């Protein structure tokens, strides 16, 4: 990767470290509600003061650049980005960025004109990553990026840090995942390594996770502007911003923004999905139901009534089970009936062919010989196994071929064929 040292430097530090002191002052707002039952869902809602809401960071950005505008985009993201003045900053914080084709084109055009897009999410649009990097990494394709679902590691704690020496902290920035007042395991995402191929000059490594093991913060040049991609949005939530260490990390991350208008995406985040760490359980409404006491009581009451219903339902008298007669084998009766039918109709040929089918079925079941080719080889093998003289078997096969080719079979021929069959059944071992 070919990057100059200047490419990794933040574009602006003005107002960055002020975020640290503002966060410490606003920490009281979070602490004042510590006696309440918080919603620990990672919803990233800007109006929410829950631990994993973004109320704190969205309000701090309003005064991040003195004299510059702050606009919360609540509808028509594509129109807002197309009509935005240059320079400007687009900021999105959520679990994933969901954009349609019009919004994607508008975002690419917005950055291409010389603006900045700061996107902090666990799941990036594959089309966005492909558009940014496909001209640099010749082997990069949508198929490669599909594997981005697997780019995470699971732990209860992660250490984040910066690459630039002026931003880097010796011990790093430690983050723990708290949920329901205890530390739990969490899926920490990082950027797909396929984006950072040796020949590319687009993506610059700005920050790492897991003690510099993976890249979670990168700058991607596009047109006259740049994308800043961060795969750890939880670092920007209320819970971590009230910590001095967390506020310092966010301040350094935002120091890459342009000192210009900030467009906070409050529109796309409304269609967000649960974070990866919660997705397996949160795809059903049970988690939310149990997190709300009234709904939890209603759920347990409904469950108890269902158990009682099943218990009393099982006590009812079971209906009488009818006695079924034992199945009888009517195959022989059926064969006898069919034989008499053919015999009375003088259809000796069909009767002889049916007898041959029974003979071949007997051979397959008893001697496990294939009966597809009825040649001399078959006769020799059957004679050796059954100990029936070879001339008897050759007569059976010869007579069968004559019957099969003949248009009319006499009664005498049928009798001779039947006698040969009976001789075989008597002598076979």
Q: List Cα–Cα distances, 359 to 171, 225, 367, 381, 382, in angstroms.
A: 88, 86, 12, 15, 12
Contacts of 317 (CB under 8 A, 6+ apart): none
pLDDT over 60 at 35, yes or no: no
* pLDDT > 70? residue 20: no
| pLDDT for 220 beyond 60 | yes
Q: Which range (48-52, 303-307, 350-354) has the least confidence?
A: 350-354
Rounded average pLDDT over 14-41: 53
pLDDT band, residue 318 (cuts 50/70/90): low
Rounded to the nearest 10 degrees, how much is the dihedral formed by the CA atoms of 134, 139, 141, 143? -160
pLDDT value of residue 420:
87
Per-residue pLDDT at 71: 95
pLDDT digit string, tens, across residues 114-131: 999 999 999 888 888 888
Q: How far apart are CA 86 and CA 108, in angstroms?
A: 14
Confidence of residue 269 (pLDDT cuts 50, 70, 90): low
Calculate what percentage of the chain has a pLDDT beyond 70.
76
pLDDT at residue 154 in the model = 92
Mean per-residue pLDDT, 24-49: 66
Mean pLDDT of 221-244: 95
At 6, the pLDDT band (50, 70, 90 cuts) reads very low
Residues 211-217, mean pLDDT to the nearest whole number: 94
Does the pLDDT value for residue 344 go beyond 70?
no
Q: What is the mean pLDDT of the chain?
A: 81
Angstrom distance (rounded) from CA 406 to CA 278? 78
Band of pLDDT at residue 419, cut at 50, 70 and 90: confident
Cis peptide before 87 (omega within 30 of 0): yes
| Nearest residue to 291 via CA among 308, 270, 274, 268 | 274
Contact 231, 207 (CB under 8 A): no
State phi, psi for 48 to the nearest 5 degrees. Answer: -100, 135
Q: What is the mean pLDDT of residues 407-423?
A: 83
What mean pLDDT comes out for the span 369-389?
Answer: 88
d(CA 20, CA 249): 9
């Amino acid at each position: 990767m070919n990057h100059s040292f200047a490419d990794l430097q933040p574009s602006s530090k003005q107002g960055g470290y002020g975020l640290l002191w503002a966060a410490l002052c606003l920490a009281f707002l979070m602490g004042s509600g510590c006696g309440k039952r918080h919603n620990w869902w990672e919803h990233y809602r800007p109006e929410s003061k829950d631990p994993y809401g973004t109320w704190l960071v969205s309000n701090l950005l309003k005064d991040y650049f003195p004299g510059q505008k702050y606009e919360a985009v609540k509808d028509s993201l594509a129109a807002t980005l197309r009509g935005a003045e240059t320079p400007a900053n687009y900021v999105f914080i959520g679990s994933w960025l969901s954009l349609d084709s019009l919004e994607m084109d508008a975002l690419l055009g917005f950055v291409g004109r010389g603006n900045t897009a700061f996107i902090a999410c666990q799941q990036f649009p594959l089309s966005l990553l492909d558009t940014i990097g496909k001209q640099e990494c010749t082997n990069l394709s949508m198929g490669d990026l599909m594997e981005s679902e697997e780019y995470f590691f699971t732990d209860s704690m992660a250490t984040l840090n910066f690459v630039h020496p002026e931003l880097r902290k010796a011990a790093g920035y430690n983050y723990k995942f708290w949920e329901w007042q205890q530390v739990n395991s969490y899926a920490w995402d990082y950027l797909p390594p396929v984006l950072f191929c040796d020949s590319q000059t687009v993506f610059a490594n700005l920050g790492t996770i897991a003690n510099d093991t993976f890249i979670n913060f990168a700058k991607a040049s596009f047109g006259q502007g740049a994308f800043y991609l961060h795969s750890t949005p939880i670092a920007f939530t209320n819970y971590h911003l009230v910590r001095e260490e967390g506020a310092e990390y966010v301040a350094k991350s935002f120091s890459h923004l342009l000192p210009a208008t900030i467009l906070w995406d409050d529109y796309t985040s409304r269609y967000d999905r649960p974070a990866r760490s919660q997705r397996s359980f949160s795809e059903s409404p049970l988690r939310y139901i149990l997190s709300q006491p009234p709904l939890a009581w209603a759920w347990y009451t409904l469950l108890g009534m269902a158990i009682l219903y099943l218990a009393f339902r099982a006590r009812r008298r079971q209906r009488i089970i009818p006695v079924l007669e034992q199945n009888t084998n009517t195959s022989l009766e059926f064969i006898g009936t069919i034989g008499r039918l053919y015999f009375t109709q003088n259809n000796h040929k069909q009767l002889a062919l049916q007898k041959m089918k029974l003979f071949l079925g007997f051979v397959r079941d008893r001697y496990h010989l294939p009966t597809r080719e009825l040649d001399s080889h078959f006769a020799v093998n059957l004679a050796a196994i059954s100990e029936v003289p070879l001339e008897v078997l050759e007569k059976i096969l010869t007579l069968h071929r004559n019957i099969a080719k003949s248009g009319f079979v006499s009664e005498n021929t049928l009798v001779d064929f039947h006698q040969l069959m009976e001789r075989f059944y008597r002598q076979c071992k």
